[in-house]
Amino acid sequence: MPIIAPSILSADFSRLGEDVLAVEKAGADWIHVDVMDGHFVPTITLGPLVTSAVHGVTTLPLDVHLMIETPERYVDDFAKAGASLISVHVEACTHLNSTLAQIRNAGAQAGVVLNPATPLSAIDWVLEFVDLVLIMSVNPGFGGQQFIPNTLSKIRALRRIIDDRELAVLIEVDGGVNLSTIADVALAGADVFVAGSAIFGSEDYQRTIDAFRDKIKDPPQ
């Protein structure tokens, strides 16, 4: 089953609870929470307090994407705030193996994220310790950017590796996912589709999510 994860980066922060409930009602599977520290990426967004507030209004799993330096300092706080899944960037972790173990020890599922320029070989030796790999299809930091087309080859290559090694690891794709790109992303082998502006920027969240599912089900050959 494809998983649709609206990114609250593009929600209306002045009425965040209502927007989260609205996408839940519209059929979202997870809520994607983009945490940015102004160092790893230029933007500053939100932290464990807001994550915990979001956890208080929804029953959906919180998929926390940490775009921060030294994420190991905050993993436990996000787990306590109610994150079901915590993903850390390869580029931000000096001791990646240990940080992934820390996430699982804190009771969350562990994800690892690759920037567009980071090769798949960076995760060769941790693939067996993660529940999910998040492939960035834009450079992190901002919503509403254009999908980087060569990401599709990267998703296909990762799909092959995961299948060959018979691992139960989900592939998530984040950045520029919209009605024009989602079918190709699905065809390449993604399981989880993050979308910020394409969902929160639309008039009718349910119609958009339904249209996503149709495109995933029936991709152009």
Binding mask 87-116 for ligand DX5 (x = CB under 6 A): ------------------------------
Residue 41's identity, in one-letter code, is V
Pattern 44-83, ligand DX5, x by CB under 6 A = ---------------------x------------------
Q: Is 172 in the site for Zn ion (CB under 5 A)?
A: no
Query: 67 forms bridges with which residues in the sheet?
Result: 36
Q: Confirm if 157 and 188 have CB atoms less than 8 A apart.
A: no
C-beta separation of 4 from 28 below 8 A: yes
Judge whether 122 and 88 are in contact, CB under 8 Å.
Answer: no
Which candidate in 34, 63, 131, 184 is catalytic? 34
Amino acid at 108: A
Owner of token pair 């980087």 = 148
Smallest gap from residue 157 Cβ to ligand DX5 (A): 21
144 binds, among ligand DX5, Zn ion, none (CB under 5 to 8 A by kind): ligand DX5
* Residue linked to tokens 């993050």: 194
Residue 167 is classified by DSSP as -
- How many residues of this chain interact with ligand DX5, rule: CB under 6 A? 21
The binding site for ligand DX5 (CB under 6 A) comprises 7, 9-10, 32, 34, 65, 138, 140-141, 143-145, 174-177, 194-198
